[in-house]
Structure 1
Amino acid sequence: MGDAPTATATELSLVVADTTMLCEDIRQIVLAPTDGGTLPSFTPGSHVAVTWRPGHRNSYSLTGPAIEPGHYSISVRLDRAGHGGSQWIHTLSAGERATVSRPRSAFAPVPDARHHLLVAGGIGVTPVLSHVRAAVQWGRSFEVIYSFRAGFGAHRDDLAELCGDRLTTVETPEEFWAHLTPALGRQPIGTHLYTCGPVPMIDAVAGAATGQGWPIQRVHSEPFSSGVAAGGKPFTVRLGRTGTTVPVDADESLLEALLDNGFDVPNLCRQGVCGECRLPVRGGRIDHRDLYLTDEEKAAGDAMMPCVSRAAGAEVELEL
């Protein structure tokens, strides 16, 4: 797929120090500074955006040490139906360069929580691992429930070493709920719940927690997928400041169409989660598919997340 693009002043140009297949389709990439120094520290739960083609970035959670680290580690699941980001990363080998953003977090632990209940599903284990590293380092009270399909427990050994008897691993939905339901009921007041995994899992865990009386302010989540496809019916986007129109095909996102036509739209997660690509809307109905805007903001119809959301009709007009 070609060489990695060069870095800009706001990005980091790193070298691939090592790669490891953790299990089928999940590959760990260790990225190090070219001068052998340290990298910017980050908050547990942070991710970096990896540029795999000019104007195209995918975000991945950092799994390694957070304070003045000598490297960044990411674990990437191969998406065979994706547009190429994970596929490009799975071709990287030691010595190649990669351009990444500085770390950013929307899933940080609450430092003064009395206890941390961490729930991970599949590749959603990656930010949970960084939470655990910090909890161990700072002596915080925590426990982990990690659900995965048999043979796909990436970082299971890392968690086992860090957690000891504070780790529960399950491989079926029945096992998962058999452990989670009583765990939700026995937590001390002041516990915070963190879930990372597929959207249906996150919704189910949040529903179970609030059903047992958990305050919503103590229920946190980060989906590793938006749970919706960016594709749909083709439509046209009109740029209000110039009148320029850009067609959006059925199998591409609005964000991709704008980037491919030379419009520089800030973006990071590409999953409708982080809010980085938020664009103001002048007119047209919106098919909101993001997990960032509130219900009130979606009802107002004056903003959208182009990475996943689309026009609900033939055209949408943006303040661009």
Structure 2
Amino acid sequence: MNQQKIPVQVSRVKQLSPNIKMFEFIAQDTQLSTFSAGSHVTVHMDEAGIRRAYSLISDPQQPQHYRISVLRDEQSKGGSAYMHENVAEGDLLHLSPADNFFPLVHDNTSKHILVAGGIGITPFLSYLYELEQADMEFELHYCFRDGANAAYVDELRERIGNRLHVYDNAQDQHLSVEQLVAQQGKNTHLYVCGPQPLIDAVIESGNALLGKERVHFENFGEVASGGSSFEVHFQRSGFSLEIGEDSSILQAIENDKRIDIECLCRNGVCGTCETTILEGEADHRDHYLDDEERAAQKTMMLCVSRAKGSRLVLDL
């Protein structure tokens, strides 16, 4: 895990919609690096003890600045609320280096279909630079609840024209995922980022009609981890915590503050919170381990997975 922290200054803040802000960062004492489309950075809000990953939306090959967009989530555990309420132009923050769990497949022989839901538009904003530069065939299908709260619609219309398809649910416009996927050729790559129901629908249709190797997805927020309560004992640290019905192991650890645990994605994709199981069995809910690894019950992802029984012992 790269523990480097890059000092940056907030060079610009722009209100894009009533609940979305754009933040621009410039480096303080070093240069920012180029990155690949779909990358994210972790923003360290040290004053609040919060770290959150956000997709980079700027040109991957023009790192004079990094830009992100942050949705003010009413259910926020602190990250988006802190960014919206406390971060202003001129402030100093730290970023972790860019990392990518959702890269674009560079294949000029294939069509690329991008499906975004709400703030899930963000990783695709950096995709567009690479798609256009490589002259790849693509379409962007952008769904949102209400056009008044959607970001980047006008800019996207101007930039990519008829390759943009928008679905404003408030105007009774809805995307039929099954129909969209059925219209595609077998050489299509399908990408989705947005709310879990949209991701699930695209994965189901995409896997059935195109095959798993051509379906690519990223969650943009913390996935709920509800279920029966259970106890977790941390063997090396020598204490236990009760994990409530509506809490993840990761959230319980962060609230307790005695163990420092890294997690970039908070939705079972990146693998950074993978932890060894010493006793008990996990109810695996991640997208990182394969079926064989899940059956082996040797490790688990603390951000989404739970216990099958009443107790787990972990190597922490």
- What is the TM-score normalised by the length of structure 2? 0.88
Cα distance change, pair 81–172 in 1 and its aligned pair in 2 (3 A) = closer
Rounded to whole Å, the distance in 2 between the matches of 1:79 and 1:281 is 33
Deviation of 1:9 after TM superposition, in Å, equals 6.4
Question: Contact 2:143–2:175 at 8 Å: present in 1 too?
Answer: no
Partner of 1:5: none
Partner of 1:3: none
Rounded to whole Å, the distance in 2 between the matches of 1:184 and 1:310 is 33
Partner of 1:162: 159
Partner of 1:277: 273
Aligned-pair identity (%): 38
Cα distance change, pair 139–105 in 1 and its aligned pair in 2 (3 A) = same
Say if 2:251 is the partner of 1:253: no
Q: Give SS of 2:207's match.
A: helix
Aligned amino acid, residue 150 of structure 2: G
**Cα deviation code 1:225-249 (max 9, x no counterpart):** 35424x655543223346x023145
Question: Contact 2:121–2:193 at 8 Å: present in 1 too?
Answer: yes
Listed as ranges, the gaps of 5+ residues in structure 1 are 1-7
Cα distance change, pair 9–282 in 1 and its aligned pair in 2 (3 A) = closer
Partner of 1:28: 22
Choose from 166, 169, 173 the match for 1:172: 169
Say if 2:194 is the partner of 1:194: no
Partner of 1:16: 10
Cα distance change, pair 24–248 in 1 and its aligned pair in 2 (3 A) = farther
Q: Give SS of 1:98's match.
A: strand
What root-mean-square deviation, in Å, do the aligned CA atoms of Structure 1 and Structure 2 show?
Answer: 2.4
Deviation of 1:122 after TM superposition, in Å, equals 0.6
Question: Contact 2:139–2:163 at 8 Å: present in 1 too?
Answer: yes
Moved more, 301-310 or 92-101: 301-310
Say if 2:47 is the partner of 1:51: no
Rounded to whole Å, the distance in 2 between the matches of 1:301 and 1:293 is 10
Question: Contact 2:17–2:149 at 8 Å: present in 1 too?
Answer: yes
Rounded to whole Å, the distance in 1 between the matches of 2:138 and 2:242 is 46
Deviation of 1:85 after TM superposition, in Å, equals 0.8
Say if 2:111 is the partner of 1:118: no
Partner of 1:293: 289
Partner of 1:152: 149
Rounded to whole Å, the distance in 2 between the matches of 1:233 and 1:286 is 13
Partner of 1:130: 126
**Cα deviation code 1:171-214 (max 9, x no counterpart):** 13974335x54542343442211011111111112222334x21
Deviation of 1:301 after TM superposition, in Å, equals 2.0
Partner of 2:59: 65
Choose from 109, 116, 141 the match for 2:104: 109
Partner of 2:83: 89
**Cα deviation code 1:27-63 (max 9, x no counterpart):** 111111125x741111100111112247531111111
Q: Give SS of 1:297's match.
A: helix
Rounded to whole Å, the distance in 2 between the matches of 1:192 and 1:311 is 35
Matched residue count: 308
Matches within 5 A, 1:209-288: 209-211=206-208, 213-229=209-225, 234-241=229-236, 244-250=238-244, 252-259=247-254, 260-288=256-284
Question: Contact 2:277–2:312 at 8 Å: present in 1 too?
Answer: yes
Aligned amino acid, residue 249 of structure 2: L
Rounded to whole Å, the distance in 1 between the matches of 2:159 and 2:280 is 51
**Cα deviation code 1:60-80 (max 9, x no counterpart):** 111111114111111111122
Partner of 1:77: 71
Rounded to whole Å, the distance in 2 between the matches of 1:186 and 1:308 is 34
